[in-house]
Chain A
Amino acid sequence: MNWLLNLPPQASSVAKGIDWLHYSVILTTFAGVALVAVIAAYFVIRYRRRDDGPTPRIVAPGWLEGGVIVVLLVLFVGWWVVGFQQYRELETAPSNAIPVYVTAKQWMWKFQYADGPSSTDVLVVPVNQPIKLIMQSRDVIHSFFVPAFRIKQDVVPGRATTAWFEAIAPGTYDIECAQYCGTRHSLMRGQVVVLPAAQFELWRANAEPDHFGGKGDGSGLAAYGRVVAADHGCLRCHTLDGTPSIGPTWLASFGRTRRLADGTDVLIDEQYLTESMMEPNSQIAAGFQPVMPTYRSQLEPADVAAIVELIRSLRDAAPSHDEPRPTHDVIQRGAP
């Protein structure tokens, strides 16, 4: 069946389930079209024109029309239910997924692990391990597509979008850009190299730690995030240790729900954090003032990724008791 439909190998944990639905939809619809064709052919032969006489007036009874509609409705909505469940699975990364920060630009992919290694157009991942891609674009819309994994996600400038996969067999799989992005769109290809766990560890140990154009200290994305945050003055208002300040602390915030000034709740994830850097005042945390300027044209996607990773790396940390208590001055400024 896979061969017949010319589908790529089923190399991810979700591929089998999606292909199963694919088979059932395609086979059923083929059968439907074939049935229509056979009936039509039969009618053409059986009722071919013999004379010019009148034909009986036949009107479809209501029960037949209703029946057809109900049967189709059940069938179609059934597929939709299964398809939507799978879609939710595709959209929701498992909590143990390793984050990889992806930057798309005309016409290349850049991949960045939180703990250092980065690469262009080749993404090296361990087998049987969920990987979460946190993607940003530097210019136009791109789309990250790995046919063998059955995943695809547009990468939209000004936003963070995410996708995840778990490769189930070592090998090399093509990455393609699926959203038309300009002259060399068709050459914006890359590869996912899936390695057995041991080999992956070896690769990671030997991989050249990324130096972020000389700015980072090579000890990982979160560490670079500290540099970026300090350079851009983020740490003047946000603290890393839970100390109250002008802006919400970054400690133990990622993955939690935050109450906003307008009374709604929002999950602090990559998308929320990215949006907060681009358009700080659209979602104000309850109890804080809308005083943060936008960093839209000041932060490169790699910088945004570094800050997101910094905040993510602090998600489980407990408030440090060794730090000096907040000064009176800070509390006063932080008070709404």
Chain B
Amino acid sequence: MTAHSQYESLARRQATARLGMWLFLGSESLLFAGLLALFAAYRVMYPTAFHDAAEHANVALGTINTYILLTSSLTVALALRATEHGRRRATVAWLLVSIAFGVAFDVLKLVEYAQHLHDGFAPGHYYTATSLPPSSVLYFTLYYLLTGLHALHVTAGVIVLGWLALRARRGDFTPTSHIALECGTLYWHLVDLVWIFLWPILYLLR
């Protein structure tokens, strides 16, 4: 970027970028940790209400989404591997596949939301369902916040992957220099990892 780089070598620069990315991911995961702590606290406070509410989670869609995200983690890893072997077109292709998975995830998520809203399981004061204990509304509010925040991350990840695909197509990445791609895939893995926590907690834990 500037002639007078503050780094003594490219390797040092890449290592620093990697460290920065890990710090960022750590910070990001604490964002979710705060919400998960709230979820845990309320779950302890209202075990039956949360148990009953979780019965209404759409396990099928949640599980399909889990498979989608796990697979997309594989495909971004394959994109990275393709770059390391200097296969530009494969990189772009794998990134596009990952983007497709990300979009599919979001779409399924929206379907799930629509279904819940239709059943009256809306967040907060919009909650109209009467079939569950009243405090179940907290489960759904947290469900929307957790999955909504996660979906925002997925969407951001899709945009990042799209940008990386463009750069890959332009030939910005070489087998030895592709730190942006590496950081982008790291971010995508975080998005995946967060879901691996959300899926059992929101869908499977009764």
A positions within 8 Å CB-CB of B: 279, 281-282, 284, 290, 294, 296
Contact = CB atoms under 8 A, between A and B. Distances in A.
B134 interface: yes
Nearest to B47: A282
Given A294-B134, A294-B135, 4 more contacts: A279-B46, A279-B49, A282-B45, A282-B48
B133 interface: yes
B81 to A, nearest CB: 50
Contact of A296 (B45, B47, B48, B134): B134
Interface string B176-199: 000000000000000000000000
12 contacts: A279-B46, A279-B49, A281-B46, A281-B48, A281-B49, A281-B133, A282-B46, A282-B48, A282-B49, A284-B48, A294-B133, A294-B135
Task: Identify whether the interface residues of A are mostly helix, strand, loop, or mixed.
Answer: loop
Contacts of B134: 294, 296
- Interface size class of chain B, counting residues whose CB lies under 8 Å from the partner chain: under 10
Interface of B: 45-49, 133-135
Contacts of B49: 279, 281-282
Nearest to B45: A282
Contacts of B45: 279, 282
Question: B46, B49, B134 — which one has the most chain A CB atoms within 10 A of its CB?
Answer: B134
Contacts of A281: 46, 48-49, 133
A279 B134 CA distance: 8
A294 B134 CA distance: 7
Contacts of A296: 134
Contacts of A279: 45-46, 49, 135
Contacts of B47: 282
A266 to B, nearest CB: 14
Contacts of B133: 281, 294
A281 B135 CA distance: 10
B28 to A, nearest CB: 32
A45 B95 CA distance: 71
A106 B45 CA distance: 28
List 9 tightest A-B contacts by C-beta distance, closest first.
A281-B48, A294-B134, A282-B46, A290-B48, A281-B133, A279-B135, A282-B45, A279-B46, A296-B134
A243 B184 CA distance: 67
Contacts of A294: 133-135
B182 to A, nearest CB: 44
A290 B134 CA distance: 13
A156 to B, nearest CB: 14
A282 B47 CA distance: 6
Contacts of B48: 281-282, 284, 290
A282 B41 CA distance: 13
A282 B135 CA distance: 10
Nearest to B134: A294
A294 B138 CA distance: 15
B60 to A, nearest CB: 28
A277 to B, nearest CB: 12
B109 to A, nearest CB: 30
A296 B135 CA distance: 10
A296 B137 CA distance: 14
Contacts of B46: 279, 281-282
A290 B135 CA distance: 14
B131 to A, nearest CB: 13
Contacts of A284: 48
A224 to B, nearest CB: 26
A296 B133 CA distance: 12
Question: B45, B48, B49 — which one has the most chain A CB atoms within 10 A of its CB?
Answer: B48
Nearest to B46: A282
A123 B62 CA distance: 57
A290 B47 CA distance: 11
Nearest to A297: B134
A216 to B, nearest CB: 28
A296 B49 CA distance: 14
A23 B48 CA distance: 50
A114 to B, nearest CB: 29
Nearest to A282: B46
A129 B23 CA distance: 59
Contacts of A282: 45-49, 135
A147 B45 CA distance: 34
Nearest to B135: A279
Nearest to B49: A281
A279 B138 CA distance: 13
A248 to B, nearest CB: 17
Question: A281, A290, A294, A296 — which one has the most chain B CB atoms within 10 A of its CB?
Answer: A281
A284 B48 CA distance: 10
A18 to B, nearest CB: 32
A238 B46 CA distance: 22
A115 B130 CA distance: 39
Nearest to A294: B134
